[in-house]
Amino acid sequence: MASGLTLRLPQFPQSAVHIGLYTSVTNASIIRGELLSGNTRYSYAFVDPRSVLSLAHVLAAVYRALTDMEAGGMRTRTLSSEIVFAFGGTMNIAESLRRFGINDDSDSLLVVKVDTAQVERSNSVWDELGELVQGTSIPVTDENIAALTDVETVRKNYKIQQGISLADRSEATNVISGAIALRGYL
């Protein structure tokens, strides 16, 4: 069974960050429905990869959500929803969840799960996700993420002016990671 990426952020060594990437997803609307009805089995951050530039981009959002959680300053109810919200550059929660989260028409998904220090995991996160997501799990690499990015969606969602080029992914990640870090402060 294909699995995703598990890593630890240097500043949060006790928390395991699991990242999965799925293509040919067929049940996006079902997942979204379950999320909206608050089904706790679905406590993952489901992100639409069209707005994602790179792994560093994902980690910037995870980092923001984790530091906000540590500081007691989360704006949404769960860490998972906070991670999706963290992708956005604005304080408008509903808007960010809509833009960056799973949509009914999402045919690919980037999924993040953070197991904080207190969590005891009995099943593999990939097994659990495999049951929830009807799609093909592919390796979580920058190349695979890049293939799913829609640069115009990124530009629109982050309101980046036409003058700033997004052609260089490294530069673009820099721009967006800064916007994520400064959300609510700019």
Partner 1 sequence: MSPDLSTLPSAIVALDLTLISQGAEAKIYFSPDHPFIPSSLLGGAISTTISNPSAGYILKYRPPKRYRHDALDAQLTKHRTLSEARILYKLFLAGISVPSFIAVDPRLGLIWMENINGSSLKEWIWAREREIEEQLCDEGEYGQSQKRLEIIKPLLLSVGSEIAKLHFLDTVHGDLTTSNLLLRDGRRLGAEGATGLHQLMVPEPVIIDFGLAQQSTLPEDKAVDLYVLERAFISTHPIHSGEYVEWVLEGYVAGFGRGRKTAVFKVNEIMKKLDAVRLRGRKRSMVG
Query: Rule CB under 8 A: which residues touch partner 1?
Result: 7-14, 53-56, 59-60, 62-64, 67, 70-71, 73, 141-143, 146, 164, 169-170, 173-175, 177-179, 181-182, 185-186
What's phi and psi for 156, nearest 5 deg?
Answer: -65, -50
- Rounded to whole angstroms, how far apart are CA atoms 179 and 68? 15
Residue with smaller CB distance to partner 1, 68 or 133: 68
Nearer to partner 1, 70 or 127 (CB): 70
Among 116, 80, 126, smallest CA distance to 100 is for 80
Residue entry with tokens 């928390």? 15
Q: How far is the CB of 175 from partner 1 (least distance, A)?
A: 7
Minimum gap (Å) between residue 41 Cβ and partner 1? 28
Please report how close the Cβ of residue 67 comes to partner 1 at its closest, in angstroms: 6
Torsion angle of alpha carbons 167, 169, 173, 179, nearest 10°? 10
